[in-house]
Structure 1
Amino acid sequence: MRLYPFLFLALLASCGPAVRTGNTTTGTTAGGSGTGMSSAEFSVAEVTRIEKVLSADDMQGRGVFTAGIEKAASFIASEFERIGLDKPASANGYLQTFDLIRPAFKSATATLDEKIIEQKDIIAITTTENLSVNEQSGYEVVTIPKGGEFFNEARKHVNAGKNRLVIVDPSHSANFPRLTNFKRQMMPSVTSTIFILGETVPSKFSISARHDISKASLSNVVGILPGTSRKDEYVIFSGHYDHLGIGKPLNGDSIFNGANDDAAGITAVIMLADYFKKIGANERTIIFAAFTAEESGGFGSRYFSQQFEPSKVMAMFNIEMIGTESKWGKNSAFITGYEKTDMGKIMEKNLAGSGFKFYPDPYPAQQLFYRSDNATLARLGVPAHTISTSKMDSEPYYHTADDEFETLDMENMAQIIKAIAISSRTIISGADTPSRVNTSELR
């Protein structure tokens, strides 16, 4: 789960699902009728195997643009191959590869109504090496006035998909330099956004900006389980497999293993893929996605979202940080953005009598709905939510080198993965379709 960038089937129904630890099992019973889960489906031994590989030191913290993240991608792809998932038609095997643009600023000049603007008051978010515009270039001129949420407004302009000149009120001058965070890494774009500190909207302007542009490739890992009668309706199970790489040593340890954040989520995705493949009764097509670059801006999920027509995505179960007990103890988790669709209520209905409980997000002030990969699809109207157990007000190992396998509860994690499977059953079967996100209400 990233920090704020600026502060950013008739299946499973009667489930007497048991979790296996070695040769012993512990079980609870889910209400409803239908086929029960095999005790082997969510074995603690298998959860442990996958989690240990993904959070091992030799993955080097799975930092983007490192050998470690490539090794992690290869492992996830091999698991999808073992399970027998289909490969996306436009991907390289299971790897959904895309480029990120990395602009390096060189210089900028601007004149607004014959007034020369200092270079420090000009920030161009662009993938064009030599950008030159004036009032005849077709740029929409907009403002960010005094007051309001500066970074939220700036993000909306950057993501609008339009060429814009944004005049920023000088009251935001203290935060203005932080807009450069937008251009550390960028998706390829044919549009540009130019921010200038100023008090009035100009009738004439001349602006130029020069950057050195480089490209680097990253890959999501995606597998598909085709549906039976509703092949063109999609349900997504996802998590992110990148983390923070190698950083400042803590007690001699410099590897940020990211065992909970988010090797735990990817372990769940792999386990769920294996389970649903064996069941083989999904009416809707299920897509299993391991996203890259969540920690550096959600670029993996942004690219992934461009590969689907949003109206065909019925639900997204994004899984993040489920390796520790929630604030309510074992067999419980929370759902971000619970109030934005009725998906949480559907999940609760399916969990009735199971011994599991999913709650609304108890940390609304932290805006977790916007801080994980669900946010990208939610902004397109998809009922996309993140499931987590992390105590975000007191998680001691969050974004530290101590986020290691030994800090996690494997048995509880296996139970949470099972609960996610149970909670999704009527959505996968097509019996339930969650309401859409009202995008006009999103910040």
Structure 2
Amino acid sequence: MKKILFLVCLSVLGKAQTTDTLFSASKIQSIIKVLASDDMKGREIFTPEIDSAAAFIASRFQKTGLTPYTSDSYFQTFSYERYPQGTLTNVIGILEGKSRKNEYVIFSAHYDHLGMRSPQMGTDSIYNGANDDASGVAAVLLLAEYFKKLNQNERTLIFVCFTGEEEGGLGSRYFSKQYDPNQITAMFNIEMIGTDSKWGKNSAFITGYKKSDFGTILQKNLSGTPFSFYPDPYRKEKLFYRSDNATLAYLGVPAHTISTSKMDNEPYYHQVNDEIDTLDLSNMSEIVKAIALSAQSIISGVDTPTRINE
């Protein structure tokens, strides 16, 4: 019995050390510095810069060792008739499950933003989108590394960075048509986690909290930690329907967005000064760690969130 307890303690300690290392503020910063740099010019769709952002994300998936979306590419490319100027690209990496390969858990964020506009403050015309949503993309990339290293997922994990969210969820709408929603167990959509929530540090909210028991499961898995997930306090903003989780949620998938954005007082939202120096990187580290730990029972197959019945 003592030997078993010792091994369990080692396992827990190992996970803690892994999350502290992988989800460090410096690793988060290194990703956001690329995506939210002036060189990316705000990552607007149909620009060379958003293609550069997609290539960067794909290179991270490849380095992590994720399986590409197709046999030789992490890109899911598509087009819409009302956008004749070019194609759009989601970036997808897959970590196959061990015993439940046809049951999918999705971790997502959007990597597009607003591009460049007429100067709004002084001479700045670049909407860098550090919080919206380079913060979410950083979380997805680091969660992919964590779960790959952990190598314990019974269900298949799909890591996807969507394009066209700012244009009405173009990427997620296309993505949702490529999978059978009945095979998708849950969706962790991560949007704007770079600032403290209204409850302060070690907290975030989940949109559509009462529409399934997704949030209840996540909070149960965080029992004994200082972190708390709360129901979305901005009901009038209808955030559940304003991010990339919405399309799959309409199809019954327990697809929810995790965020900390204070939508009644977020001074950098859709502004040119949404830059990396406005983010609380240490708090972000704790949020991403909490997502990783709270997802464990879902990816292992122990818990299956209830379906959404709209």
TM-score, normalisation: structure 1: 0.66
What is the distance in 1 between the residues matched to 2:296 and 2:9? 11
Moved over 6 A (4+): none
| CA RMSD in angstroms, aligned pairs only | 1.6
What is the distance in 2 between the residues matched to 1:37 and 1:95? 32
Residue 379 in 1 paired to residue 250 in 2? yes
Question: Which residue does the alignment assign to 2:283?
Answer: 412
1:254-281, Cα deviation, whole Å (9 max, x unpaired): 0000000000000000000010000011
Residue 248 in 1 paired to residue 118 in 2? yes
Deviation at 1:33, TM superposition (A): 6.4
What is the distance in 1 between the residues matched to 2:284 and 2:216? 22
| Residue identity (%) | 61
Question: Which residue does the alignment assign to 2:207?
Answer: 336
Contact 2:46 2:85 in 1 (8 A): no
What is the distance in 2 between the residues matched to 1:15 and 1:276? 19
Matches within 5 A, 1:310-349: 310-349=181-220
Q: How many residues align?
A: 300
Contact 1:100 1:215 in 2 (8 A): no
Question: Which residue does the alignment assign to 1:232?
Answer: 102
Secondary structure class of the residue paired with 1:295? helix
TM-score, normalisation: structure 2: 0.94
Aligned equivalent of 1:291, options 145, 154, 162:
162
Distance verdict in 2 for CA 1:15–1:218, change over 3 Å? farther
Aligned equivalent of 2:15, options 36, 42, 67:
36
Aligned equivalent of 1:80, options 52, 61, 82:
61
Residue 96 in 1 paired to residue 76 in 2? yes
Contact 1:15 1:37 in 2 (8 A): no
Aligned equivalent of 1:362, options 233, 236, 251:
233
- Structure with higher strand content: 1
Secondary structure class of the residue paired with 1:281? coil
Deviation at 1:89, TM superposition (A): 2.7
Matches within 5 A, 1:153-168: none
Aligned equivalent of 1:62, options 43, 56, 65:
43
Deviation at 1:15, TM superposition (A): 9.4
Counterpart residue type for residue 232 of structure 1: N
Deviation at 1:41, TM superposition (A): 2.1
- Structure with higher helix content: 2
Secondary structure class of the residue paired with 2:117? strand
Question: Which residue does the alignment assign to 1:223?
Answer: 93
Residue 281 in 1 paired to residue 152 in 2? yes
Which shows bigger deviation, 390-399 or 34-43?
34-43
What is the distance in 2 between the residues matched to 1:400 and 1:41? 30
Deviation at 1:35, TM superposition (A): 5.4
Distance verdict in 2 for CA 1:357–1:15, change over 3 Å? farther
1:267-319, Cα deviation, whole Å (9 max, x unpaired): 00000001000001100000000000000010100111111100000000000
1:94-127, Cα deviation, whole Å (9 max, x unpaired): 010001222xxxxxxxxxxxxxxxxxxxxxxxxx
Question: Which residue does the alignment assign to 1:270?
Answer: 141
What is the distance in 2 between the residues matched to 1:215 and 1:403? 28
Secondary structure class of the residue paired with 2:81? strand
Distance verdict in 2 for CA 1:234–1:34, change over 3 Å? farther
Counterpart residue type for residue 297 of structure 2: T
Counterpart residue type for residue 401 of structure 1: V
What is the distance in 2 between the residues matched to 1:436 and 1:384? 9
Deviation at 1:37, TM superposition (A): 2.3
Deviation at 1:36, TM superposition (A): 2.9
Q: Which runs of 5+ in 1 are unaligned?
A: 1-13, 17-31, 103-184, 186-213
What is the distance in 1 between the residues matched to 2:59 and 2:15? 28
Deviation at 1:215, TM superposition (A): 5.2
Question: Which residue does the alignment assign to 1:124?
Answer: none
Residue 51 in 1 paired to residue 29 in 2? no
